[in-house]
Each structure stands twice: as C-alpha cells, then as structure tokens.
Amino acid sequence: MRRHTRRVYNLCYRFTGNSTVAEDLTQEVLLRVYRTIGSYQSQYGAFATWLTSVTRNLLVDHHRRTRHDRMTDSIDDVLPVVEDKPSQVRAPDRQAEAAELSAQLQRGLARLSPELREAVILRDLQGLDYREIQTVLRVPEGTVKSRINRGRIELAGILKQMGVRPA
C-alpha cells in the first residue's frame, strides 16, 4: 500500500507541482480505489496500470477544475516556490544536487502542455512502457510516441533556457 501510495503521490506532484494539492489528490485517488476496487479486473492490465489510470483521470478532472485559477495567476510566480526541501538540513552535495535538479525539472514540466507533460512523466519518471501509457491515456500508440518525443524535446529546450546544463 505504501509503495502504491508513493507512486500515486509522485505522479500527482510531478503533474501539479504542488505538494499540498498532491497529498489531497493522493488521498482522493486511494479512496476512489477502495470504492471501485470491485470493478478492477486483471484482464485489463496490471494493477499499477489501473491505479495510474485512476490517478490520471483524477488529475485531468483537477486540471479542468483549476483552469480558471491558473489563468488568473502567473504560473512562473507559483511554481518556483512549491518544491519540497529535503528533510536533511545538512544534506550531502549529491543529495543537494539531486534536490536542485528535481526542482528545476519540476519547473520545466510545469511549462509543458498537460498532454506532453503527462506523457513525459508516465514514460520517463513513472517508467511505464508505451502499451501501458496507451492504456492509461486511451490514445493510439503513435500519438503516445509523438507526445513523448515532442515533450522531451520541448522540456530539453525549456531547461536550456533556464540555464540547466545537461548531464
């Protein structure tokens, strides 16, 4: 349960960029899973894929609900301040670098369109294969590949503009 919860939380956080919202959405996802666990059938795919589909549907609903709020606020003013700091105060250099990279990546993801963002997150941060992403997004495999490719190129360009050097 803890592993799945962490996975859902990561997906919610990477998509929304807000830890409080991600916690609320994670709780809502798990409650929805408990309510609808009877509808899950293994023939439709792995449980993790089904869980990702439930999470993604909730994220889409949340994205539509908060569209008006995002239009009134400047996204650049909101996103840079939402990154969680690591719990260790005296973190080693590598952990500090990873945390900094994670924050920069989060800012870059926030600038992507929702379609490209979710495709990149599912593929490169959640580790789903193309077939699973096709199941979650309910789009053809060619569309999945196209979105992932364009999302990667755009994200690399955004990070370059932000001054992030490639590894």
Interacting residues with another protein (CB under 8 A): 1-2, 5-7, 9-10, 13, 19, 23, 26-27, 30-31, 34, 84, 87, 98, 101-102, 105, 124-125, 145-146, 148-149, 152-153, 155-157, 159-160, 165-167
Q: Which is nearer to another protein, 61 or 100 (CB)?
A: 100
Q: Which is nearer to another protein, 1 or 71 (CB)?
A: 1
Q: Which is nearer to another protein, 71 or 167 (CB)?
A: 167
Minimum CB–partner distance for residue 150 and another protein (Å): 9
Give the position of tokens 């789009």: 139
Query: Is 38 exposed, middle or buried (CB count within 10 Å of its CB: 0-12, 13-18, 19+)?
Result: exposed
Give the position of tokens 């993801």: 109
Minimum CB–partner distance for residue 4 and another protein (Å): 10
Distance CA 141, CA 163 (A): 33
Distance CA 29, CA 49 (A): 13
Give the position of tokens 């929702």: 114
Minimum CB–partner distance for residue 76 and another protein (Å): 20
62: tokens are 């949340």
Minimum CB–partner distance for residue 1 and another protein (Å): 8
Q: Which is nearer to another protein, 78 or 125 (CB)?
A: 125
Q: Are 113 and 153 in contact (CB under 8 A)?
A: no
